[in-house]
Protein backbone atom coordinates (compact mmCIF):
# COMPACT_ATOMS: atom_id res chain seq x y z
CA UNK A 1 0.00 0.00 0.00
CA UNK A 2 2.72 2.46 0.97
CA UNK A 3 4.68 2.37 -2.29
CA UNK A 4 1.64 3.12 -4.55
CA UNK A 5 0.62 5.91 -2.18
CA UNK A 6 4.07 7.46 -2.33
CA UNK A 7 4.11 7.23 -6.11
CA UNK A 8 0.72 8.87 -6.32
CA UNK A 9 1.87 11.67 -4.03
CA UNK A 10 4.98 12.25 -6.11
CA UNK A 11 2.91 12.39 -9.28
CA UNK A 12 0.53 14.92 -7.75
CA UNK A 13 3.37 17.05 -6.42
CA UNK A 14 5.25 17.08 -9.72
CA UNK A 15 2.02 17.78 -11.59
CA UNK A 16 1.45 20.79 -9.36
CA UNK A 17 4.83 22.22 -10.25
CA UNK A 18 6.73 20.84 -7.28
CA UNK A 19 9.98 19.48 -8.66
CA UNK A 20 11.77 16.88 -6.57
CA UNK A 21 15.49 16.30 -6.95
CA UNK A 22 16.60 13.25 -4.99
CA UNK A 23 20.25 14.31 -5.22
CA UNK A 24 20.37 17.90 -4.11
CA UNK A 25 23.31 20.01 -3.01
CA UNK A 26 24.87 17.08 -1.13
CA UNK A 27 24.55 13.27 -1.29
CA UNK A 28 22.36 13.22 1.81
CA UNK A 29 20.46 16.42 0.98
CA UNK A 30 17.38 16.23 -1.22
CA UNK A 31 16.14 19.45 -2.77
CA UNK A 32 12.69 20.51 -3.91
CA UNK A 33 11.44 23.39 -5.99
CA UNK A 34 8.11 24.82 -4.90
CA UNK A 35 6.54 27.80 -6.68
CA UNK A 36 9.87 28.62 -8.31
CA UNK A 37 11.94 28.52 -5.09
CA UNK A 38 14.42 25.71 -4.37
CA UNK A 39 14.86 24.35 -0.85
CA UNK A 40 17.04 21.83 0.95
CA UNK A 41 16.73 20.70 4.58
CA UNK A 42 19.73 22.89 5.48
CA UNK A 43 18.35 25.95 3.70
CA UNK A 44 14.99 25.56 5.43
CA UNK A 45 16.64 25.25 8.84
CA UNK A 46 18.77 28.34 8.15
CA UNK A 47 15.71 30.24 6.94
CA UNK A 48 13.72 29.29 10.03
CA UNK A 49 16.38 30.01 12.64
CA UNK A 50 18.42 32.85 11.15
CA UNK A 51 21.40 34.06 13.15
CA UNK A 52 21.73 33.96 16.95
CA UNK A 53 20.94 37.66 16.86
CA UNK A 54 17.77 37.02 14.83
CA UNK A 55 16.63 34.47 17.40
CA UNK A 56 16.90 36.91 20.30
CA UNK A 57 16.17 40.35 18.81
CA UNK A 58 12.57 41.51 19.16
CA UNK A 59 10.63 42.03 15.96
CA UNK A 60 8.41 45.13 16.24
CA UNK A 61 5.34 44.00 18.19
CA UNK A 62 2.15 44.50 16.22
CA UNK A 63 -1.48 43.59 15.82
CA UNK A 64 -2.09 40.77 13.36
CA UNK A 65 -5.88 40.55 13.30
CA UNK A 66 -8.64 41.00 15.87
CA UNK A 67 -7.25 40.17 19.31
CA UNK A 68 -4.13 38.41 17.95
CA UNK A 69 -0.74 40.14 18.29
CA UNK A 70 2.90 39.39 17.53
CA UNK A 71 5.39 39.52 20.43
CA UNK A 72 8.23 37.30 19.17
CA UNK A 73 11.71 37.78 17.73
CA UNK A 74 12.86 38.13 14.14
CA UNK A 75 12.71 34.38 13.55
CA UNK A 76 11.06 32.72 16.58
CA UNK A 77 7.39 33.55 16.82
CA UNK A 78 5.42 34.23 19.96
CA UNK A 79 1.78 35.24 19.78
CA UNK A 80 -0.39 37.10 22.27
CA UNK A 81 -4.16 36.55 22.26
CA UNK A 82 -5.88 39.12 24.44
CA UNK A 83 -9.20 38.70 26.25
CA UNK A 84 -11.13 40.60 28.95
CA UNK A 85 -10.27 37.83 31.43
CA UNK A 86 -6.54 37.72 30.78
CA UNK A 87 -4.30 36.70 27.93
CA UNK A 88 -2.93 33.64 26.15
CA UNK A 89 0.61 33.26 24.82
CA UNK A 90 1.60 30.71 22.19
CA UNK A 91 5.33 29.82 22.36
CA UNK A 92 7.62 31.14 25.07
CA UNK A 93 10.63 30.45 22.76
CA UNK A 94 14.06 30.42 24.48
CA UNK A 95 14.25 31.32 28.16
CA UNK A 96 16.47 34.32 27.32
CA UNK A 97 13.61 35.72 25.20
CA UNK A 98 10.95 35.78 27.92
CA UNK A 99 11.90 39.27 29.09
CA UNK A 100 11.89 40.39 25.44
CA UNK A 101 8.36 39.03 25.08
CA UNK A 102 7.41 40.85 28.29
CA UNK A 103 8.64 44.15 26.84
CA UNK A 104 6.77 43.58 23.58
CA UNK A 105 3.53 42.88 25.46
CA UNK A 106 3.99 46.14 27.39
CA UNK A 107 4.72 48.08 24.19
CA UNK A 108 1.34 46.96 22.88
CA UNK A 109 -0.33 48.38 25.98
CA UNK A 110 -1.06 45.11 27.79
CA UNK A 111 0.14 43.71 31.11
CA UNK A 112 2.43 40.70 31.01
CA UNK A 113 1.13 39.75 34.45
CA UNK A 114 -2.31 39.24 32.87
CA UNK A 115 -1.10 36.22 30.87
CA UNK A 116 -3.19 33.31 32.14
CA UNK A 117 -2.43 30.50 29.69
CA UNK A 118 0.75 29.39 27.92
CA UNK A 119 0.46 27.10 24.89
CA UNK A 120 3.02 25.77 22.41
CA UNK A 121 3.28 24.44 18.89
CA UNK A 122 5.75 21.67 19.75
CA UNK A 123 8.22 20.60 22.42
CA UNK A 124 11.57 21.88 21.18
CA UNK A 125 13.83 24.28 23.07
CA UNK A 126 13.32 27.15 20.64
CA UNK A 127 9.57 27.11 21.35
CA UNK A 128 9.22 25.95 24.97
CA UNK A 129 12.46 26.58 26.84
CA UNK A 130 11.00 29.72 28.41
CA UNK A 131 7.91 28.02 29.85
CA UNK A 132 9.18 27.80 33.44
CA UNK A 133 10.28 31.44 33.58
CA UNK A 134 7.11 32.73 31.93
CA UNK A 135 5.05 30.79 34.45
CA UNK A 136 7.21 32.10 37.28
CA UNK A 137 6.62 35.70 36.15
CA UNK A 138 2.90 35.46 35.35
CA UNK A 139 1.46 32.39 37.05
CA UNK A 140 0.16 31.21 33.67
CA UNK A 141 -1.07 27.64 33.28
CA UNK A 142 1.20 25.66 30.94
CA UNK A 143 -0.67 23.31 28.62
CA UNK A 144 1.00 20.60 26.53
CA UNK A 145 -0.27 18.00 24.04
CA UNK A 146 -0.14 14.54 25.60
CA UNK A 147 2.23 13.08 23.02
CA UNK A 148 4.73 15.91 23.67
CA UNK A 149 4.71 15.67 27.46
CA UNK A 150 7.91 13.60 27.74
CA UNK A 151 9.76 15.88 25.30
CA UNK A 152 8.57 18.99 27.16
CA UNK A 153 9.61 17.55 30.52
CA UNK A 154 13.12 17.02 29.11
CA UNK A 155 13.45 20.79 28.49
CA UNK A 156 15.03 21.97 31.76
CA UNK A 157 17.00 25.23 31.39
CA UNK A 158 19.33 25.53 34.35
CA UNK A 159 17.91 22.30 35.72
CA UNK A 160 14.44 23.78 36.25
CA UNK A 161 11.59 21.30 36.15
CA UNK A 162 9.31 21.92 33.18
CA UNK A 163 5.85 22.96 34.40
CA UNK A 164 2.81 21.22 32.94
CA UNK A 165 -0.55 22.19 34.42
CA UNK A 166 -2.87 20.63 31.87
CA UNK A 167 -2.39 17.80 29.39
CA UNK A 168 -4.21 18.32 26.10
CA UNK A 169 -5.62 15.87 23.58
CA UNK A 170 -6.32 16.11 19.88
CA UNK A 171 -9.33 18.33 19.20
CA UNK A 172 -9.50 19.73 22.73
CA UNK A 173 -10.54 23.35 23.25
CA UNK A 174 -8.88 26.00 25.39
CA UNK A 175 -11.19 28.90 26.24
CA UNK A 176 -10.54 32.20 28.00
CA UNK A 177 -12.57 35.40 28.02
CA UNK A 178 -14.76 34.45 25.08
CA UNK A 179 -11.88 33.28 22.84
CA UNK A 180 -11.56 29.57 22.04
CA UNK A 181 -8.51 27.90 20.56
CA UNK A 182 -8.65 24.33 19.26
CA UNK A 183 -5.64 22.04 19.58
CA UNK A 184 -5.11 19.87 16.50
CA UNK A 185 -2.44 17.19 16.89
CA UNK A 186 -0.45 17.30 13.65
CA UNK A 187 2.50 14.97 14.31
CA UNK A 188 5.64 14.41 12.30
CA UNK A 189 8.05 17.09 13.47
CA UNK A 190 7.35 15.86 17.02
CA UNK A 191 4.85 13.30 18.26
CA UNK A 192 2.64 15.97 19.78
CA UNK A 193 3.18 18.81 17.33
CA UNK A 194 0.10 21.02 17.57
CA UNK A 195 -1.58 23.29 15.04
CA UNK A 196 -3.85 25.78 16.81
CA UNK A 197 -6.95 27.38 15.29
CA UNK A 198 -9.27 30.15 16.43
CA UNK A 199 -11.63 32.76 15.08
CA UNK A 200 -10.78 36.46 15.26
CA UNK A 201 -13.14 39.32 14.49
CA UNK A 202 -12.02 42.47 12.69
CA UNK A 203 -14.12 45.10 10.95
CA UNK A 204 -17.25 43.13 11.70
CA UNK A 205 -15.91 40.05 9.89
CA UNK A 206 -14.81 36.73 11.36
CA UNK A 207 -11.52 35.21 10.22
CA UNK A 208 -10.09 31.72 10.71
CA UNK A 209 -6.60 32.02 12.20
CA UNK A 210 -4.19 29.07 11.93
CA UNK A 211 -1.09 28.94 14.15
CA UNK A 212 0.84 26.25 12.30
CA UNK A 213 3.43 24.08 13.94
CA UNK A 214 6.54 23.06 12.03
CA UNK A 215 5.89 20.43 9.37
CA UNK A 216 9.62 19.93 8.80
CA UNK A 217 10.65 16.29 8.93
CA UNK A 218 13.32 14.81 11.15
CA UNK A 219 15.96 12.78 9.30
CA UNK A 220 15.77 9.94 8.54
CA UNK A 221 12.07 9.66 7.77
CA UNK A 222 11.06 6.43 9.47
CA UNK A 223 7.91 4.56 8.37
CA UNK A 224 6.19 5.79 11.53
CA UNK A 225 7.08 9.42 10.81
CA UNK A 226 6.03 9.02 7.18
CA UNK A 227 2.65 7.70 8.30
CA UNK A 228 2.26 10.59 10.74
CA UNK A 229 3.01 13.12 8.02
CA UNK A 230 0.60 11.39 5.62
CA UNK A 231 -2.14 12.00 8.18
CA UNK A 232 -0.97 15.51 9.00
CA UNK A 233 -0.70 16.81 5.44
CA UNK A 234 -4.13 15.39 4.58
CA UNK A 235 -5.76 16.79 7.71
CA UNK A 236 -4.40 20.34 7.79
CA UNK A 237 -5.82 21.12 4.36
CA UNK A 238 -9.29 20.50 5.77
CA UNK A 239 -8.89 23.37 8.23
CA UNK A 240 -10.62 26.65 7.32
CA UNK A 241 -7.89 29.28 6.99
CA UNK A 242 -7.84 33.01 6.35
CA UNK A 243 -4.81 34.07 8.40
CA UNK A 244 -1.84 31.68 8.13
CA UNK A 245 0.78 31.99 10.88
CA UNK A 246 3.68 29.74 11.89
CA UNK A 247 6.15 28.97 14.65
CA UNK A 248 8.97 30.53 12.63
CA UNK A 249 8.47 33.94 11.05
CA UNK A 250 9.66 32.88 7.59
CA UNK A 251 6.92 30.26 7.40
CA UNK A 252 4.36 32.97 6.71
CA UNK A 253 6.61 35.76 5.32
CA UNK A 254 6.33 37.95 8.42
CA UNK A 255 8.91 40.53 7.35
CA UNK A 256 7.36 41.10 3.93
CA UNK A 257 3.80 41.24 5.28
CA UNK A 258 4.72 43.56 8.14
CA UNK A 259 6.22 46.00 5.62
CA UNK A 260 2.79 46.20 3.96
CA UNK A 261 0.93 46.82 7.23
CA UNK A 262 -0.32 50.38 6.66
CA UNK A 263 -3.33 52.29 8.04
CA UNK A 264 -6.21 52.07 5.59
CA UNK A 265 -4.55 49.38 3.48
CA UNK A 266 -5.81 45.78 3.27
CA UNK A 267 -4.51 43.64 6.13
CA UNK A 268 -1.60 41.66 4.59
CA UNK A 269 -1.92 38.93 7.22
CA UNK A 270 -5.34 38.00 5.83
CA UNK A 271 -3.94 35.73 3.14
CA UNK A 272 -6.12 32.67 2.44
CA UNK A 273 -4.52 32.06 -0.95
CA UNK A 274 -1.20 31.25 0.70
CA UNK A 275 -2.40 29.32 3.74
CA UNK A 276 -0.66 26.07 2.83
CA UNK A 277 2.49 27.15 0.97
CA UNK A 278 4.67 26.01 3.88
CA UNK A 279 2.86 22.67 3.94
CA UNK A 280 3.54 22.28 0.21
CA UNK A 281 7.24 22.87 0.78
CA UNK A 282 7.49 20.46 3.69
CA UNK A 283 5.38 17.73 2.11
CA UNK A 284 7.53 17.85 -1.02
CA UNK A 285 10.62 17.62 1.18
CA UNK A 286 9.30 14.60 3.07
CA UNK A 287 8.58 12.80 -0.20
CA UNK A 288 12.01 13.71 -1.57
CA UNK A 289 13.74 12.47 1.58
CA UNK A 290 11.86 9.16 1.45
CA UNK A 291 12.78 8.80 -2.22
CA UNK A 292 16.44 9.51 -1.43
CA UNK A 293 16.48 6.99 1.43
CA UNK A 294 15.00 4.29 -0.79
CA UNK A 295 17.50 4.94 -3.58
CA UNK A 296 20.37 4.69 -1.07
CA UNK A 297 19.38 1.23 0.13
CA UNK A 298 21.64 -1.62 -1.08
Instruction: State the Cα–Cα distance between residues 255 and 248, nearest whole angstrom.
Output: 11
Is 297 among the domain residues?
A: no
Tell whether the model's pLDDT for residue 10 goes beyond 90. no
CB atoms under 10 Å from CB of 170, counted, come to: 16
Q: Identify the weakest region by mean pLDDT among 8-12, 17-21, 195-199, 228-232.
A: 8-12
CATH classification at residue 158? 3.60.15.10
Is 2 among the domain residues?
A: no
Tell whether the model's pLDDT for residue 194 goes beyond 90. yes
Confidence band (pLDDT; 50, 70, 90) for 27? low
Please give the pLDDT value at position 247: 97
pLDDT mean across residues, the chain: 92
Please give the pLDDT value at position 29: 81
Say how many domains are in the chain: 1
Residue 205 CB partners (closer than 8 Å, separation 6+): none
Is 74 among the domain residues?
A: yes
Q: State the pTM of this model.
A: 0.91
Single out the residue of 108, 109, 71 nearest to residue 90, CA to CA: 71
Is 292 among the domain residues?
A: no
Is 30 among the domain residues?
A: no
Instruction: State the Cα–Cα distance between residues 250 and 236, nearest whole angstrom.
Output: 19
Q: Tell me which residue range forms the domain holding 130.
A: 57-267
Is 33 among the domain residues?
A: no
Confidence band (pLDDT; 50, 70, 90) for 122? very high
Q: What is the DSSP string of 162-178?
A: PP-SEEE-TT-EEEETT
Instruction: State the Cα–Cα distance between residues 249 and 152, nearest whole angstrom.
Output: 22
Tell whether the model's pLDDT for residue 285 goes beyond 80. yes
Confidence band (pLDDT; 50, 70, 90) for 28? low
Amino acid sequence: MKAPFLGACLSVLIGAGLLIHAQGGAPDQPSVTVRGQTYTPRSILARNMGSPEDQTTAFPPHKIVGNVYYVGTRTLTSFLITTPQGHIVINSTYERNVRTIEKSVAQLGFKFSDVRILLATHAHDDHQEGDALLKELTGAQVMVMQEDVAAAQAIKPGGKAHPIDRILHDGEEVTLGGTTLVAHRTPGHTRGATTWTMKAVEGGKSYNVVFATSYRSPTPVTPEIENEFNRTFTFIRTLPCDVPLGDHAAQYNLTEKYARLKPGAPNPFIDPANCWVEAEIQEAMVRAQVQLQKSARP
